[in-house]
A = this chain, B = another copy of it.
């Protein structure tokens, strides 16, 4: 549980050395990330997030214009954080390309286990919710998947160069397919409370790649 010491949230202008940085703001983003990866956007209450970290509402609306813009910022943070994680695996030249993909899915697997299969993918959560979300999220979420897909496709291109997948494979398309199904696997892993869906899908995807 993340929460800040009471004395970190007291009124008044912050001291000068902390200019441009606010711990409270970061705490709110952190807590928001936790809640939104678990419950999505619509079901997540500002009040709940605030209670969790002992920050009063005034602070929230000081730092963020609205719940919507808070969500947009979270999507941006999550996207970047995750892209980074992806690169760490998919660009790992100590492994052959397809094993990097496996390393990534294993990592995700253990991440879900670590949170008891309660937290999913923020982008997947909000994507599913689009029917009830501000339309402004749609393009942002599409761009997130496009970004991840490109990184994934680059790894598949390497696999192609190495000859691990067939020379006429459409890597962008395969990468798109991976994410389409992978989000489904996360969804089911959350529902079942088990890594099995992740394993099943990762195995199927990797063994289904054109040779």
- Chain A contact residues, CB within 8 Å of chain B: 38-40, 42-44, 118-120, 124-125, 127-132, 138, 141-142, 145, 173-174, 176-177, 179-185, 187-188, 190-192, 197, 200-201, 204-205, 207-208
Copy number in the complex reads 2
Chain A at the B interface: SS class? helix
Contact A183:B188 (CB < 8 A) given known A39-B132, A43-B129, A131-B118: yes
Given contacts A43-B132, A127-B188, A138-B191, 17 further A-B contacts (CB under 8 A): A39-B132, A40-B42, A43-B129, A44-B132, A120-B128, A124-B184, A124-B187, A177-B201, A177-B204, A180-B181, A180-B185, A181-B181, A181-B184, A181-B201, A183-B184, A183-B188, A184-B184
- What chain B residues lie within 8 Å of A128 (beta carbons)? 40, 120, 124-125, 128-129, 187, 190
- Rounded to whole angstroms, the CA-CA distance of A129 and B131 in the bound complex is 13
Q: Which residues of B contact A197 (CB under 8 A)?
A: 176, 180
Q: How distant is the Cα of A176 from the Cα of B186 in the complex, in angstroms?
A: 14
In the assembled complex, the Cα of A128 lies from the Cα of B39 at a distance in Å of: 9
Chain B residues, Cβ within 8 Å of A174: 204
